[in-house]
């Protein structure tokens, strides 16, 4: 494959700065112009360690002035709270809610409640914490926003999130003494959840607080009696079991795979014993994972679930969480450092990989723990440090310096004695580790995606949506093939790999890095892999130059049935006659193989019918049976089996995280 350095440079640059817009691009350009080619080539390009490169950008007179000049101006930039805006959106939500109460038309009522919910979500997101602005709502804007949204959710029949909002309203200052309305709302929320006993307890508390006002309680009893619990839509999401338990030597991997190493391919995963189609070989939490900024308004910043009733950070309005639990976990960990700088990070144009590098430190319990994790990753994962160009190192060093400056300003290192940029010894270690992470992440990070489904059907009209990226310690060891042997999908942030074919012992267990033979020709695949990952692929699809799926006919290649022969034979012209194998030189009959193929294709048809009937688990079992049978008698490429493997991937992905538009 002809080497294309220009394409490789473009690919590498995009792993640091993914957006054309953004000030980091200008920052790099200014430093590059100042230092000149001579310094870059003869000095910086000859530095042998990440520590020396980082130290150079802060101390070398050829570059330090523009570097320090920009980094000195790093300041918090984030979407702040606004009590007035929140008050206005709450008033708008209350207006829609009251209108919904005055109409008898069910569709109109629901539409008004949905509009009310949108406005109340904005009210929650922009409301400041208790007593931050005492001139608005007596400092209770956040509590009142949650209370207002709870009423709307009760109207929609969403009892569980309504109850959560009522508890949050109480946590953020809503007075409960003598608050009859609060306990009436709680009773309605429990009734909507189908928890009649708890609804009655809440109503009795309200009755006790109401005293002589029995008419109001009687009215509430009538309303609660009319509430019909809305059945929760069953979740298809499930964390799968690893085949034969967890591997004690590979975190998150099944006990049927192992790590091997060769000079040509480095370390990679193979089957340690036979695998069946459908066996789950990996279910791993990320070392670190980040949501793409484009999804900050639609997905939980912490667990990546689709948002319905967002819970806000108490300090910023730029991100949202699906629950108080996720908010608490994030804000007690990484978000306390990232919060005030989120819009600055986004505005820099930096890639999602840079967010992950920063997250590895911000989520750590201490600076020392962050350094230990980062250094271990750099030691164990591929970084291609020996083939990088000086310009690439300069760009990554500048990004490492920028991220280190964010940590300085966020007081990650504690209270500093000076506002200056010049790093301390520990800060230099962190910047050095960040530079290493930016190299490792280029080749080892995984895109995190979810399946977007329609209301009508889980498969028809569904599509894969890339919502984030993560680094997986064990997942990083799986090599690429242009037709993978596992299906990749996600349950939340967990990476799951399930076999889409049987594997013999010692056979490579392969994922796909992007270019796939069914829709990309050999030349383009090799160019893409060389440019993005710095290797040339030698998988079977590349060795045999398999045609694109649309050009693939329905021909099948059968295994020779002689013992220990691994030759492939074409479909016989006459089934009544034996076929002579040119390798083992034996005459064999393919009647049994052809009979099995007929059975296999029938299983594929039944599986497709089960998919159409939305019987996902039944479809999975039928595909697994058919694919296992196919690999006993024949080999890829076989169009129907490729389509069956693709359909199996869609089915298992449907058991992962999905969302509706």
Token readout for 416 is: 């500093």
Of 483 and 228, the one with more pLDDT: 483
Q: Where are the domains of the chain?
A: 14-73+294-439, 83-225, 554-660
Task: Give the pLDDT mean for 396-403.
Answer: 98
Question: What is the three-class DSSP state of 658?
Answer: strand
Query: How many C-beta atoms surround the C-beta of residue 101 within 10 A?
Result: 11
Task: Give the pLDDT mean for 238-256.
Answer: 96
* Per-residue model confidence as pLDDT tens digits over 543-591: 999 999 999 988 899 999 999 999 999 998 888 899 999 999 999 999 9
* Per-residue model confidence as pLDDT tens digits over 293-303: 999 999 999 99
Task: Give the pLDDT mean for 210-228.
Answer: 87
Q: Is the pLDDT of residue 1 over 60?
A: no
Token readout for 92 is: 């708008």
Task: Give the pLDDT mean for 487-491.
Answer: 98
Asked if the bond preceding 637 is cis, omega within 30° of 0, the reply is yes
CATH number of this structure's domain 83-225, picked from the four choices 3.40.50.150, 1.10.490.10, 1.25.40.10, 3.90.1010.10: 1.25.40.10
597 pLDDT band, cuts 50/70/90, is: very high
How much of the chain, in percent, has pLDDT values that exceed 90? 87
User: Using alpha carbons only, how large is the chain's radius of gyration in Å?
Assistant: 30
Q: Across all residues in the chain, what is the average pLDDT?
A: 95
6 pLDDT band, cuts 50/70/90, is: confident
* Per-residue model confidence as pLDDT tens digits over 143-154: 999 999 999 999
Q: Is the pLDDT of residue 3 over 80?
A: no
Task: Give the pLDDT mean for 245-253.
Answer: 96
Helix locations, 157-231, DSSP H: 159-171, 180-192, 196-210, 214-225
CATH number of this structure's domain 554-660, picked from the four choices 1.20.1300, 1.10.3470, 1.20.58, 2.60.40: 1.20.58
Q: Is the pLDDT of residue 514 over 60?
A: yes
pLDDT number for residue 2: 53
Task: Give the pLDDT mean for 499-517.
Answer: 97
Q: Is the pLDDT of residue 19 over 80?
A: no
- Which long-range contacts link 316-322 to residues 24+ away (Cβ below 8 Å)? 316/78, 316/79, 316/80, 316/81, 316/340, 316/342, 317/79, 317/80, 317/81, 317/82, 317/125, 317/126, 318/78, 318/79, 318/342, 318/343, 320/125, 320/296
Q: Is the pLDDT of residue 310 over 80?
A: yes
Q: Is the pLDDT of residue 496 over 70?
A: yes
Q: Is the pLDDT of residue 71 over 50?
A: yes
47 pLDDT band, cuts 50/70/90, is: very high
Q: What is the spatial distance between Cα 189 and Cα 166, in angstroms, rounded to a whole number?
A: 9
235 pLDDT band, cuts 50/70/90, is: confident
Across 400-477, the runs of DSSP E, i.e. the strands, are 445-453, 463-471
pLDDT number for residue 17: 86
* Per-residue model confidence as pLDDT tens digits over 627-638: 999 999 999 999
């Amino acid at each position: 494959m002809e080497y294309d350095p220009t394409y490789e440079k473009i690919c590498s640059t995009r792993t640091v700065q993914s957006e054309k817009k953004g000030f980091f691009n200008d920052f790099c350009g200014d430093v590059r112009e100042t230092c000149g080619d001579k310094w870059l080539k003869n000095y910086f390009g000859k530095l042998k360690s990440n520590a020396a490169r980082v130290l150079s950008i802060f101390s070398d007179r050829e570059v330090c002035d523009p570097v320090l000049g920009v980094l000195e101006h790093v300041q918090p930039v984030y979407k702040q709270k606004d009590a007035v805006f929140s008050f206005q959106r709450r008033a708008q939500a209350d207006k829609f809610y009251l209108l919904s109460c005055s109409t008898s038309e069910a569709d109109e009522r629901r539409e008004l409640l949905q509009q009310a919910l949108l406005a109340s979500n904005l009210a929650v997101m922009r409301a400041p914490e208790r007593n931050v602005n005492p001139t608005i709502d007596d400092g209770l804007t956040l509590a009142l926003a949650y209370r207002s949204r709870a009423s709307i959710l009760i109207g929609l029949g969403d009892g569980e999130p309504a109850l959560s909002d009522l508890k949050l309203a109480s946590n953020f200052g809503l007075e409960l003494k003598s608050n009859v309305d609060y306990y009436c709302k709680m009773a309605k929320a429990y009734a909507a959840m189908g928890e009649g006993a708890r609804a009655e307890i809440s109503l009795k508390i309200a009755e006790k607080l109401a005293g002589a006002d029995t008419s109001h309680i009687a009215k509430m009893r009538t309303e609660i009696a009319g509430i019909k619990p809305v059945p929760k839509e069953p979740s298809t999401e499930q964390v799968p079991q690893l085949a034969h338990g967890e591997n004690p030597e590979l975190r998150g991997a099944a006990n049927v795979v192992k790590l091997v190493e060769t000079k040509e391919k480095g370390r990679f995963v193979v089957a340690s014993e036979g695998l069946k189609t459908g066996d789950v070989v990996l279910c791993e939490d990320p070392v670190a994972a980040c949501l793409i900024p484009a999804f900050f308004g639609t997905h939980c910043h912490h667990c990546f679930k689709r948002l319905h009733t967002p819970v806000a950070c108490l300090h910023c309005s730029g991100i949202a969480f699906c629950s108080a639990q996720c908010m608490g976990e994030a804000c007690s960990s990484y978000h306390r450092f990232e919060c005030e700088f989120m819009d600055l990070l986004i505005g820099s144009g930096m890639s999602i990989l840079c967010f992950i590098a920063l997250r590895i430190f911000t989520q750590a319990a201490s600076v020392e723990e962050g350094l230990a994790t980062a250094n271990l990753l750099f030691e164990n994962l591929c970084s291609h440090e020996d083939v990088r160009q000086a310009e690439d190192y300069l760009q990554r060093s500048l990004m490492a310096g920028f991220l280190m400056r964010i940590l300085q300003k966020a007081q990650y290192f504690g209270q500093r004695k000076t506002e200056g940029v010049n790093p301390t010894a520990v800060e230099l270690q962190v910047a050095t580790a960040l530079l290493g992470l930016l190299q490792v992440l280029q080749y080892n990070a995984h895109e995190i995606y979810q399946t977007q489904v329609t209301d009508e059907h889980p498969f028809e009209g569904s599509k894969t949506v890339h919502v984030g990226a993560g680094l997986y310690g064990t997942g990083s060891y799986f090599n690429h093939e242009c037709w993978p042997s596992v299906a990749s999908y996600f349950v939340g942030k967990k990476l799951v790999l399930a076999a889409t074919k049987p594997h013999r012992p010692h056979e490579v267990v392969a994922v796909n890095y992007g270019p796939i033979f069914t829709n990309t020709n050999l030349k383009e695949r090799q160019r893409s892999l060389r440019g993005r990952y710095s290797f040339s692929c030698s998988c079977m699809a590349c060795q045999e130059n398999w045609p694109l799926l649309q050009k693939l006919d329905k021909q099948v290649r059968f295994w020779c049935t002689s013992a220990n022969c691994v030759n492939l034979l074409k479909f016989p012209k006459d089934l009544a006659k034996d076929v002579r194998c040119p390798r083992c030189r034996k005459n064999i009959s393919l009647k049994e193989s052809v009979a099995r193929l007929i059975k296999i294709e029938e299983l594929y048809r039944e599986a497709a019918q089960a998919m159409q009937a939305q019987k996902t688990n039944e479809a999975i079992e039928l595909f697994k049976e058919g694919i296992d049978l196919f690999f006993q008698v024949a080999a890829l490429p076989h169009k129907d089996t490729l389509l069956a493997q693709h359909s199996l991937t869609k089915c298992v992905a449907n058991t992962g995280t999905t969302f509706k538009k």
